[in-house]
Amino acid sequence: MTLDLFADIPSKVRLKEKLSLPRPLSEPELLAELTDLSQKNTPGTSFLGGGSYDHFIPSAVKHILGRSEFYTAYTPYQPEASQGTLQAIYEYQSLICELTGLEVANASMYDGATALAEAAFMACRITGRKEIVVSAAVHPNYRAVLKTYCTAADLVLKELPFDIASGLTAYNLQLTTNSACVILQQPNFFGNLEKVAGLADKVHAAGALLIASINPISLGLLKPPGRYGADIVVGEGQPLGLPRSFGGPGLGLMAARQEYLRQMPGRIVGATTDLDGQRAFVLTVSTREQHIRRERATSNICSNEALCALAATVYLSLLGKNGLKKVAGLCLQKANYLKEKLGQAVLWSTPGFNELVIKTNKKIGLDLAGYYPELAGCRLICVTELTNKSELDKLVLDVLSA
């Protein structure tokens, strides 16, 4: 039977002798060998960012996530048996609303990229229009996901170029009666702070919505998007207590103005009063197609990201306003220290947050050539509160000595 399985594999490429493998090891022997191998690793400092960031995660986050009450990602359909999970989600929504300056937040999306795409679709439903305008300074992977969504839904996607002299979006807005929204990233993919003053007024005057994709840590210092006129705010929640873990899982943040609540995808947990007059929590809105008629559903988002949202809730609760401000401040200070020390190697002097683009042939950070051919020879560098001064000074020495 086994030979039949490999009958179609040519004889000349088949192994004729036994594999040359070492003898089997017992578990203690195997652990000793793997430990010995691991000690040969010499990991250097990583300056990779581009949407996934290395922040300190308090031990309490992992401890609370490990409690058995929170193990399942299953939707809390039965409120009488799910009060703890529902309250945790409600607290998460409240924190995201406070961060973004908007009135309603949903119970999380898959990740920052899909949250952005869902926000664009949401804008199309609200406005009844089919054109989406997105800045080229929005994360390239996010734009790729958005393009896939738009192709399948017969929506028009237009890109606003970025100014090569400043690293900022060239807001030469020529919105039409078919434009549903304008999407920006703040800080943008290059780490630069977009000029958003008055932008929302221009977008709203054309009957469109403004969507902002944010780094939540930056909101410890920056003005909440709701205060500069953003109608929908999305972002990647990974910096809020989630490890990088080789790329996942992520946490899609989404908040919006009160009047758009019924168009939000996913779920919204609300607070109410039970028959005994006690405070209770329920799924107030659940607009996915598994819950209501498919033609009325806003999205087919299914999996519940509540465990990741719980991590963000615990992280933000432990840090508080002052802690988040301090983390954001350290990121900003270290990025500015690099800018000062690197001098002419920095591509733009534009104010930014925790990332910057430098000109170097050193293999550090993220190579931008694959995303932006016009930035060949440039790398995106990221620092966080965990990057120490000696690491920064070593980077400066490596770059300037090239």
Beta bridge partners of 252: 109, 236
Alpha-carbon 134 to chain mean position:
17
Alpha-carbon 7 to chain mean position:
48
Burial 72-99, CB ≥16 within 10 A → b, else e: eeebbeebeebbebbbbbbbbbebbbeb
User: Is it the case that residue 258 has pLDDT exceeding 80?
Assistant: yes
369 band by pLDDT with thresholds 50, 70 and 90: very high
Q: What is the pLDDT of residues 23-55, one digit of tens each?
A: 999 999 999 999 999 999 877 889 999 999 999
Question: Of all residues in the chain, what percent are helix, strand and coil, respectively (each to 5)?
Answer: 40, 20, 40
CB 70, CB 88: distance < 8 Å = yes
Flag the least confident range among 85-89, 181-185, 352-356: 85-89
Q: What is the pLDDT of residues 280-336, one digit of tens each?
A: 998 887 755 555 556 666 676 656 678 899 999 999 999 999 999 999 999 999 999
Q: What is the pLDDT of residues 158-199, one digit of tens each?
A: 999 999 999 999 988 789 999 999 999 999 999 999 999 999
Q: Which fold has domain 59-315?
A: Aspartate Aminotransferase; domain 2 (3.40.640)
pTM: 0.90
Q: Which residue in the block uniquely carries the two structure tokens 């932008």? A: 199
User: Is it the case that residue 107 has pLDDT exceeding 90?
Assistant: no
**Rounded-to-integer distance, Cα 350 and Cα 65, Å:** 39
Residue predicted with more confidence, 70 or 330 = 330
**Rounded-to-integer distance, Cα 162 and Cα 152, Å:** 26
Dihedral angle sign, alpha carbons of residues 113, 233, 308, 89: negative
226 band by pLDDT with thresholds 50, 70 and 90: very high
Match domain 320-400 to its CATH number in 3.40.50.720, 3.90.1150.10, 3.30.43.10, 3.40.50.2300.
3.90.1150.10
- DSSP state at residue 352: B
List the one residue out of 238, 245, 219, 193 whose CA is nearest residue 328.
219
Q: Where are the domains of the chain?
A: 59-315, 320-400
Burial 327-351, CB ≥16 within 10 A → b, else e: bbebbbebbbbbbebbeebbbbebe
84 band by pLDDT with thresholds 50, 70 and 90: confident
